[in-house]
A and B are shown apart, each in its own frame.
Chain A
Amino acid sequence: MSELILEVKDLVVDFRTDRGKITAVNGVNLEVYKGRTLGIVGESGSGKSVTALSVMGLIQKPTGNVSGGEIVYRGENLLDKSVDDMRHIRGNKIAMIFQEPMTSLNPVFTVGNQIIEVLELHQSHLSKTEMVDKAVDMLKLVGIPSPEQRFKEYPHQLSGGMRQRVMIAIALACEPDILIADEPTTALDVTIQAQILDLMNKLQKELGMGIIFITHDLGVVAETCDDVAVMYCGRIVERADVHTLFKDPKHPYTIGLMDSIPSFDSTQDEHKARLRTIEGMVPSLFELPSGCSFQDRCPRVIDECRGAKGVPVLSNYKADHKVSCFNPSH
């Protein structure tokens, strides 16, 4: 196994709302290794983005609050860091790219300016010309044609795929240890998505960073990730390496997710099989049932799940395959 760079331990994140307190992330444990990609999969509201924002130290107080756990980056707990120290880490050692490349770039600055801004903050020892050179190099690295020209252009002059490439260039400008990608291709068309995923794989091989890849698309997970964590209602319900998870999923939710994607094979025969679905819908975080959050939608539900035994704990099903379920599939 390669070097462990980030460890999230028992992370709990609360939000205060008008209707009371909700716990968006509840006891999440994750590890990120150098040169490997960890995928976090889940539906909206499962807490995957909040987990990522906590690692970045971007949970807004006083609405949001990291109320428990540790985020250990190279032996140091990021939650104990001062605002100034965090500023040195964020964007420098741990960088993030967001879903919407249209809204995460500043429309009134040129692309080049926005890359240089990162360098000014984190690599102030460079001279102005070195920064310009570096920025152009970054644009070249992410495969933008005629980078010298693009350097001077504004975000609106670029297409969606190009903007996402610029976002990646900004994130990688300081050669971070960890790159957090929050649904980086969801807003893009499939052919452009394929280009961006290919680029990220290539850059990871070249630069060796650890990636946390957040997505709801199991196809994307299968192609880009080494390890996968499936989240549901703020908790991790299953964790394994990507091959084990897809070959032998154990949690009924994971199985349900995989079954609900139409596959091309199923359409080959005349009588199309009905899509298998997960009954009902994700419960509101205000009204989580006691016991397992998935109980009301679960085809394998038993009495234990209803709360008498508390919430199922994420435990070893096999070595390196963890499931939190009282009645996992065999």
Chain B
Amino acid sequence: MSSEYLLEVNNLTKRFPIKGGLFGREVGAVKAVNDVSFKIKRGETLGLVGESGCGKTTLGRCILRLLEPTSGEILYNGQNILNYGPKEMRELRRKIQIIFQDPYASLNPRMTIGSILSEPLRIHNLFEGKKERQKRLYELLDQVQLPKDALNKYPHEFSGGQRQRVCIARALAVEPDFIVCDEPVSALDVSVQAQVINLLTDLQKDLGLTYLFIAHDLKVVEYISTKVAVMYLGNMVELAEASELYGDSRHPYTKALFSAIPVADPSKKADRILLEGDIPSPMNPPAGCHFHPRCWKATDECKTAYPSRTDASGSHYYRCYNPIN
């Protein structure tokens, strides 16, 4: 049962129907995630980057089945979880957890930290008995470096960074193997952001966790990930080892995305690829490669059909007719 890959996603597609007209007929669809495939090894981190509307959050939610995918397969430990019934799903959710972006919105303001953290334990009937549970709560607070007296406090008594620690502790409570981190540091100040990133890497080492790390900040993703996947308008356009992607990106969009990041060094003038225009609406994406209207390497071929997958070296692949180099 224990294959090398903890999670394998094959040809996953998620469409959101657009309803219109008098009888609410389906008049179109947003292809939020389109034919996406990837694998994550045990103990590794896959970073998922892309700009707003590229489908990265939808993809993360599909994996937890918080959204039901339209088609495709999600293999967790070799088993397709899309065939799971509610009972099996409930058990699986002990193994897969999620951390959300906004620690201000994802904690119930009327619950103490103690009841927030013991809720998942209660639901899954873990650490039963008052003493056992208390011990587990202290252990969790210790893991995320919060003081013991936090248990009786309410979320508003904590800063953003501390709240995100509570969210991490809540995800860890049920001893998961896999955590989807959906922009976990985007809402935090830089100095606090670094603390949370270090915490996540430490926990991964200590507990052998596997992460899907979703973010729009390329520097953070590069830092924390083993492999990085880049999405544009619902498609995964490139996937590679984190170190390889930065130095050797093949897809023009990846290249442009990296070059757009401001460099914290005034003596280096970034030689920037300025993309023209905006991200098109996913309701009505351009024909062929969705990136072609903004791409400086576009040819007529790009307007006809979506490029299929080209394998570069190792796990590196991209989808482009005119790759760089």
Contacts and interface: CB of A to CB of B under 8 A. Distances in A.
Interface of A: 43-44, 159-162, 189-195, 197-198, 216-223, 242-243, 246-247, 256-264, 266-268, 272, 274-278, 281-282
Interface in B38-88: 51-52
A222 B266 contact: yes
A222 B263 contact: yes
A198 to B, nearest CB: 6
Nearest to A223: B262
A263 B194 CA distance: 12
B240 to A, nearest CB: 13
A260 B193 contact: yes
Contacts of A257: 190-191
Contacts of B222: 262, 264, 267
A272 B223 contact: yes
Contacts of A263: 219, 264
Interface in B193-210: 193-195, 197-198, 201
Nearest to B253: A191
Contact of A191 (B243, B260, B263, B265): B260
Interface string B139-180: 000000000000000000001011000000000000000000
B264 A195 contact: no
Q: Majority SS of interface residues in chain B?
A: helix
B220 interface: yes
B295 to A, nearest CB: 12
B195 A277 contact: yes
A190 B218 CA distance: 9
B256 A191 contact: yes
A277 B242 contact: no
B270 interface: yes
Contact of B264 (A43, A189, A218): A218
A246 B223 contact: no
Contacts of B256: 191
B275 interface: yes
A278 B270 CA distance: 28
B313 to A, nearest CB: 17
B95 interface: no
B30 interface: no
B216 A189 contact: yes
Contacts of B275: 191, 194-195
A193 B264 CA distance: 15
Contact of B279 (A189, A216, A276): A189
A216 B190 contact: yes
B89 interface: no
Contacts of B220: 262
Interface string B236-269: 0000001100110000000011011111111100
Given A190-B51, A191-B257, A197 B194 contact: no
Contacts of B161: 281
A159 B278 contact: yes
Nearest to B202: A274
B262 A275 contact: no
Contact of B198 (A192, A193, A194, A277): A277
B91 interface: no
A260 B191 CA distance: 6
A37 B193 CA distance: 27
A191 B246 contact: no
B192 interface: yes
Contacts of A274: 198, 201
B19 interface: no
B309 interface: no
Given A260-B190, A276-B194, A277-B194, A193 B260 contact: yes
